[in-house]
Amino acid sequence: MQEEQNYNFAYLDEQTKRMIRRALLKALAVPGYQVPFAGREMPMPYGWGTGGIQVTAAILEPEDTLKVIDQGADDTTNAVSIRKFFQKVAGVETTEKTEEASIIQTRHRIPERDLEEGQIMVYQVPIPEPLRFLEPRETETRKMHALEEYGLMHVKLYEDIARHGHIATTYAYPVKVADRYIMDPSPIPKFDNPKLDNSPALQLFGAGREKRIYALPPYTPVKSLDFEDHPFETQTWDEPCALCGATDSYLDEVIMDDKGTRMFVCSDTDYCTTRREAGHVGPDAQAVGEAAE
Amino acid sequence: MYVAVKGGEKAIDNAHRLLAETRRGDTGVAELSVDQIREQLKLAVDRVMTEGSVYDPELAALAIKQARGDLIEAIFLVRAYRTTLPRFGTSKPVETGKMRLERRISATFKDVPGGQVLGPTFDYTHRLIDFALAAEGEPPRAEAREDFSEETLAAPHVLDLLAEEGLVERPERDDEAVPGDITRHPSEFPMDRATRLQSLARGDESYLLALGYSTQRGYAKSHPFAGEIRLGRVSVEYVPEELGFPVEIGEIELTECNMINQFAGSKKVAPQFTRGYGVAMGHGERKAMAMSLVDRSLRAVELGEEVKAPAQDQEFVLEHCDNVQATGFVEHLKLPHYVDFQSELGLVRRMRQEVESNLAEAAE
């Protein structure tokens, strides 16, 4: 179509890509530090992943294979829309297989399958500042990061324990990067936090509306905040995935009817499909297969 | 059931087709043309240009058509287009003192050099629904001013007359300064006034209206007077590098408001009125006036006033004035959040269980 020929490869012009790449390099040099960048207006709304899209657009090469997930799934509407966007403006290969992807753009999840060296994760970030809900002013939070003044965060976590008996943060759970910066891992469930640590993949975070980029180079130590007597722990489920029987994956709860029937299934659709193709069967696989037909 | 939860490519395509059909409405009714929108919904077009930050009535009218009249959506379309345009330079500052006026009023003086010119205004209309408009027909022609000429339609700024006497502050003028660009640099606080004005100029009209209103009701009182409001056309000049002298590249319509506010002074410095400034593309008086109130309240620190009201707080005002950003983030709540919700659900269940077992233990 003529319309698309008016745009550069991967939509952004080369000057803009260069500006974003500079911010990325700085972010990699100071892991966990939020680098301000001159975020552009994108043809998707703020809140739909414009930060991640700009990062992907800046690093994308014609030979890349792109995977886009939202809530762990390749077929959620926004993941479909972003994948289509890059097919249209960059013409790159896309995939739903985690192992085939060279770049994985994600919202709210990290794939269950271990990432590999050479892979790049791009996270969509709504509020990059982990201290934002404790201190709304950017001028203050930047100072707090600069002085490594994180007492407020520890007080918040302590108050959670005093009030609820445990830390009441279940997603966007704050982490400390390379023993220096406290970082928001984007709203991934804390279940995924251990995957951030010492990952062989390169991890990039883009916040479009807030105009911030930050990064974790491969094999960066990432520690979820906790206390000695209240160690960090992840979510667990009492039952396996209804479709593939996995007991080690993050499960979404699906309400089946108005009588309270529920089913738990893998949020990572590729993980679930791969397991089922390999012959794994969950307790409800039969029933669901029929309902879908 | 399970399949329906996760959306698909097909659903998106179908939704887009339905949107296009709904946009058109009843095909028995003639389609609205872009020209009609540009000519007859001018104030909507002007708002879209102002907050979309592009002076292009044709494009704004098209965006309004595409957005089905949703102005924030239209502004978003214009912004997303604007961001792809190459930038070849910065114009010279426009001379609003040399504006060819269509309207110019001052609330501070009964008469001013150049006169009070009402122009096309709703101000003194009675807000009675004009049912005659429902029937088609041409309105009677407005009589042109008898003394209509280029000279009479240009007039100096009212505030410049006061500035001559030192009664009102004179804005700093620096023609050589390179203006900041909020679309090319992430915001940094504290923000200088020129950059703040840039943010306010593309800021949401209703938001600035509410904030400006709050300053009139005691939240950062600044005792405003509408020193001057003017509407008219100004020339835009640009200096191409290869030529080295300014060339007029076109003309744009602007609305400008200079608000006069209470004086600042001390034992050593004689008191003088301060000012707030507002400007909008096309005819946008409400926007320009609200903007000038907020500009003034944001100068609190500079003028040694205590910062205690929302309208004086730079970070609060400027980080939330962009309606494209605001609507994006508010509306993104429509996107699936089931992974995060699931983890909250698990936590609440666990906490409820703990409370219940505690209660049961206590009962034993």
Is there a cis peptide before residue B190, judged by omega within 30 degrees of 0? yes
- Residues in a beta bridge with B256: B230, B279
Strand, coil or helix: what is A86? Answer: helix
**pLDDT reported for residue A5:** 59
Using alpha carbons, select from A281, A222, A265 the residue that is nearest to residue A72.
Answer: A265
Interface test with A, best of B342, B352, B353 (most A CBs within 10 A): B342
Distance CA B108, CA B273 (A): 12
Distance CA B162, CA B154 (A): 18
Catalytic pick among A32, A39, A206, A282: A32
Q: Please state, rounded to an integer, the average pLDDT across all residues of chain A.
A: 93
Q: What domains can you pick out in chain A, each with its CATH number?
A: 2-129+173-223 (3.40.50.11310), 236-284 (no CATH)
- Residue type, position B207, single letter: Y
A62-110 per-position pLDDT tens digit: 999 999 999 999 988 899 999 999 999 999 999 999 999 999 999 999 9
Q: Which of A38, A137, A291 is nearest residue B184 as measured by Cβ atoms?
A: A38
**pLDDT reported for residue B147:** 59
Concerning whether A72 is annotated as a catalytic residue, the answer is no
State whether A46 and B329 contact (CB < 8 Å): yes
Distance CA A124, CA A213 (A): 10
Residue by residue, pLDDT tens for chain B (364 residues) are 344 445 577 888 899 999 999 999 999 999 999 999 999 999 999 999 999 999 999 999 999 999 999 999 999 999 999 988 888 888 999 999 999 999 999 998 888 888 888 999 999 888 888 888 888 778 888 877 665 555 556 788 988 888 888 888 887 777 777 788 898 889 899 999 999 999 999 999 999 999 999 999 889 877 899 999 999 999 999 999 899 999 999 999 999 999 999 876 667 778 888 999 999 999 999 999 999 999 999 999 988 889 999 999 999 999 999 999 999 999 999 998 989 999 999 999 999 999 999 999 998 8
pLDDT at A123 over 70: yes
Confirm whether the ipTM is greater than 0.95. no
Do A225 and A153 touch, CB atoms closer than 8 A? yes
Using alpha carbons, select from B177, B296, B184, B2 the residue that is nearest to residue A18.
Answer: B184
* DSSP state, residue B245: S
Distance CA B206, CA B7 (A): 35
Phi, psi of B7 (to 5 degrees): -75, 175
Query: A-contacting residues of B 173-212, CB under 8 Å?
Result: 183-190
State whether A42 and B80 contact (CB < 8 Å): yes
Q: Which of A45, A71, A263 is nearest residue B336 as measured by Cβ atoms?
A: A71
Q: In chain A, pLDDT over 90 holds for what percent of residues?
A: 85
Residues in contact with A207: Cβ distance below 8 Å, sequence separation at least 6, in sequence order: A39, A51, A125, A126, A127, A128, A213
Domain boundaries defined on chain B = 2-82, 96-123+153-315, 322-364
Contact B76/A at CB under 8 A: yes
pTM for the structure as a whole: 0.87
